[in-house]
Structure 1
Amino acid sequence: MSKMVLLVEDDESIAIVIKAALEAEGLQVDRCESISCRDEMLADGNYDVLLTDVMLTDGDGIESLGDVRHAHPDLPIIILSAQNTLDTAVRASDTGAFEYFPKPFDLDELVRAVRQAVDSRAASVDPAPDRGDSLPLVGRSPAMQGVYRMITRVLRNDLTVLILGESGTGKELVAEAIHELGHRKTGPFVAVNTAAIPKELIESELFGHEKGAFTGAVARTIGKFEQANGGTLFLDEIGDMPFEAQTRLLRALQSGRIRRVGGREEIAIDVRIVAATNRDLQPMIEAGTFREDLFYRLNVVPIQLPPLRERAEDIPALAEHFLNQAVEEGLPIHRLDAAALEVLTQQQWRGNVRELRNFMYRIALMAREEVINTATVHSLLQERPAAKAEGGAPDFNAAVENWMTEADAPAGTLYHSALAAFERPLFELVLARTGGNQLRAAQILGINRNTLRKRLAELAIDPDRFTGQG
């Protein structure tokens, strides 16, 4: 007997495509367009999966799912939505949804999810978390949809998460979202920048120390692991942690127990670990500066944050969001006209979201008019490029100083952050000069062609897009 799917979708073209794809898999599909029709059909039929859109002809498809859950507690629910925000993804997760798909979606992936739901009939229901009035992440781009989906998948478990991304992409915001929206939200959220702690103090900072453990240890001190007990410990810039400390961290993660520096007693700890780095850890593993076993311990659920250049369509929403934040912090009310938003969207933000935020706060402070136009934006953007030295050549010192101001790199990470920031534009400029010819580019740079290819792959630079520019 074929399995039954109830499709609730008011867009006829989308419904036709989904229905045909599912029926090709041997599933029987009934379709309706409203919440009231959905409820009638669920009451009369015996369905194996509910596949529903969010915005329907008579209301919000998610808000009304509580009654469906009460009447059909074991019915797997798959949610589709064009309202592609973190809030929608989390609301879908709150219902105990089997899966959530932002529109547009991959049809093959949707069909696989429906088949898995049919086979499982094991959707679980957890109470919805109280999220408060706001969520930290902004953007509806396809690049951010994958981030939202990954966040919702780790809210009800304690799997270790490794957040990867360039400086300024919002790694700590993701860590905070995982904590604040998850089942550990009533516990503490403790963040530690492992790159900002002197090498000789990092073990004491993480694990604490006993009185007299070393010179200056005049009293017992509780470390970050104990401070985070019952909650979440966020280990930022994990790629810059000293190798010796990595060994003790690995032992703590494996055993769930720590020992204070100078102490004898082992202490059980109950923390959820979220780590983050802007470094490519694989070359560090190969070079012997990062432990491979620690990497696999941390990299249980990787979340890759896109740089702002890969989600430029989110820039208008981010800009408005930061202007609203600025008002909350006492700066004047402003808004951007359409042309000014377009200028911001076309701009390169090498410091990613952090640089855009800093710029919007500068606009909020400096702009005289309430409605900000292109003239004001261009005027402030002119302050961003490097100053010119005598003779018209770029002043490299000024460029570095400007980058330091915009990037706001954490203490202890400046050297590696500067290299990463310099390497990308250098490679792109040379590739543009050579028309994408990697051999010539490698010769100009004075590096091996294989080395160039590897770095281009790691930096996600496509040399083909420079073809014909030389």
Structure 2
Amino acid sequence: MAKDINDIIIGESKNVLELKFLIDKVAKSESTVLVLGETGTGKELVAKALHSASKRKGSFIPVNCAAIPAELLESELFGHEKGAFTGAEKSRVGRFELSSGGTLFLDEIGDISLSLQAKLLRALENKCIQKVGGGKEISLDLRMVCATHQDLEKKVADGSFRADLYYRINVFPINVPTLSQRSEDIPLLINYILSNLKKDKNNLPKFTSEALEVLKRHLWPGNIRELKNVLERAYILFENKQIEKNHVLENLIRLKAPTSKEEQEALWDATQELDNVEENNGLQSFNKKSSAPLPHPKHYADWFDFFENIDLRVYLRDVEVVLIESAIKKSDGVVSKAAELLKINRTTLIEKMKKLQIN
């Protein structure tokens, strides 16, 4: 296995060793790779490891497709000629050209528009591009690695992602494990992250074995990104000190709202039977006639290891508000579209909005 892979991907768990094996195998080829995984799992690190272990001498060029406005993404990728559009005062080289001889990493590939998907497919198949506003064909010599946290097969089925592009980029899929699926790597990750967090290696905090066990059992919905935040907080609060179990529970770990689709749907079902929430009321039970499923036990079974109590009604109410507001924003204020996103009836959504005082 290439040394670069072990330097970039930290961990020795079974899932990580399998991940490294796949990276090592495909790095020697020129195949297009699709990296799949939850937000914060380190998909870009996988792409960097692929590039470093390959024979390509050019640059590794990352692009977060979700972070660039749709109207600017085409120019960012393909470049543009002077005068191609208002504000294009000079010619610009795009990310495709910059990655010539190297690797182009397109993160959040599922967010690009259908029109840009067609141009991306053409570039992959013909190994050439045209700048925006240009007519000259520019040959490409690059390896493309794409990544997403979305279900592209579902997007293909609903028509929001081209099937031909999906099959073109899904030559060699790699699934990145969540942090909870590689929890035995947490001590190694802690040492690596803390040692790279600060130049002064002498004042780093130390975790007791009991504290490490708490971290291993944490759900980590934000994955490695969340772990980094926890460790930065640990350095600030416990510089050059020993961190005990109670420090982790009381000062480092924060309650996270569930993000997976299954958990969100379960929460919607569970809140159907809840009455109006009054300030300072205690923990109430569900209506006994309700058959609504609770959130997945594997995600919530350990919550009371970290919290003395949880006001279930208030917590579910808050989750409801966040999801409804997000759906309305995503739907540009169109209630019927928001209801479709939430998989509930339009009238039900309107009733919830009135009840929760959401405009």
TM exceeds 0.5? Answer: yes
Q: Equivalent residue for 2:138? A: 267
1:421 aligns with one of 259, 266, 270:
259
TM-score by length of structure 2 reads 0.72
More moved, 196-205 vs 323-332: 323-332
Say which of 234, 250, 266 aligns to 1:379. Answer: 250
Tell me which residue corresponds to 1:444.
292
Which residue does the alignment assign to 2:29? 157
Distance in 2, Cα, partners of 1:361 & 1:317:
16
Per the TM alignment, residue 335 of structure 1 is displaced from its structure 2 partner at its CA by 2.1
Asked if 2 retains the 8 angstrom alpha-carbon contact of 1:323 and 1:335, the reply is no
Structure 2 distance, partners of 1:342, 1:431, is 33
1:306 Cα shift? Answer: 1.1
Segment drifting more, 325-334 vs 219-228: 325-334
Say what the alpha-carbon RMSD is for the aligned residues. Answer: 3.0
Q: CA–CA distance in 2 between the matches of 1:271 and 1:205? A: 16
1:205 is matched with which residue?
A: 76
Does the aligned pair in 1 maintain the 2:220–2:227 contact within 8 Å? Answer: yes
**Letter of the aligned partner of 2:40 in structure 1?**
G
Shift of 1:200: 1.2
Partners of 2:242 and 2:162 lie apart in 1 by 52
Taking the TM superposition and a 5 Å limit, the aligned residue runs for 1:244-255 are: 244-255=115-126
Amino acid at match of 1:172: E
Q: How many residues align?
A: 283
Match of 2:183 among 287, 292, 312: 312
Letter of the 1:335 counterpart: K
Paired position in structure 2 for 1:279: 150
The match for 2:221 is 350
The correspondence of residues 388-403 of structure 1 with structure 2, limited to 5 A, is: none
TM-score under structure 1 normalisation?
Answer: 0.56
Return the alpha-carbon distance in structure 1 between the equivalents of residues 239 and 62 of structure 2: 38
Aligned residue in 2 for 1:411:
none
Taking a change above 3 Å as real, the CA distance of residues 432 and 213 of structure 1, as seen in their structure-2 partners, is closer
Measured in 2, the distance between the counterparts of 1:422 and 1:279 equals 11
How many Å apart are 1:203 and its aligned residue? 1.0
Please name the residue that 1:365 is paired with. Answer: 236
Match of 2:89 among 194, 218, 227: 218
Structure 1 residues 183-202: aligned runs within 5 Å? 183-184=55-56, 186-202=57-73
Larger Rg: 1
Q: Is the 8 A contact 1:313 1:345 kept in 2?
A: yes
Q: Deviations over 1:372-421 (max 9, x none)?
A: 22232222235x127xxxxxxxxxxxx6xxxxxxxxxxxxxxxxxxxx81
Residue number in structure 1 paired with 2:2:
90
Structure 2 SS opposite 1:311: helix
Q: Aligned-pair distance for 1:297?
A: 0.6
Q: Select 2:209's aligned residue among 329, 335, 338.
A: 338
| 1:298-309 equivalence runs, <5 A | 298-309=169-180
Alignment partners' CA distance in 2, 1:287 and 1:331:
54
Deviations along 1:98-147, whole A, 9 cap, x unmatched?
A: xxxxxxxxxxxxxxxxxxxxxxxxxxxxxxxxx49x71211212111221
SS in 2 for 1:421: coil
Unaligned runs of 5+ in 1: 1-88, 92-130, 387-398, 400-419, 434-439, 446-455
Match of 1:101 in 2: none
Closer/same/farther in 2, CA of residues 368 and 144 from structure 1, 3 Å limit? closer
Q: SS of 2:134's equivalent?
A: coil
8 Å Cα contact 2:180/2:218 also seen in 1: no
- Equivalent pair of 2:28/2:53 in contact (CA under 8 Å): no
What secondary structure, in the 3-state scheme, does the structure 1 residue paired with 2:7 have? coil
Q: Which has the higher contact order (CA 8 A, sep 6+)?
A: 2
- State the 1:368 CA deviation: 4.2
Task: Look up the equivalent residue of 1:425 and give its one-letter code.
Answer: E
Structure 2, unmatched stretches of 5+, are 272-287, 302-359
Three-state SS of the structure 2 residue aligned to 1:270 is coil
Contact 1:331–1:364 (CA<8 Å) still a contact in 2?
A: no
Residue identity matched to 1:378: L
Whether the 8 Å CA contact 2:234–2:252 is kept in 1: the answer is no
Cα distance in 1, alignment partners of residues 261 and 149 from structure 2: 14
Moved over 6 A (4+): 428-433
Is residue 367–residue 376 contact of structure 1 (8 Å, CA) maintained in 2? Answer: no
Distance 1:284 1:443, change over 3 A: farther
- 2:44 maps to which of 145, 160, 172: 172
Task: Output the CA distance in 2 between the equivalents of 1:231 and 1:334.
Answer: 39
Question: 2:166 is paired with a residue of what secondary structure?
Answer: helix
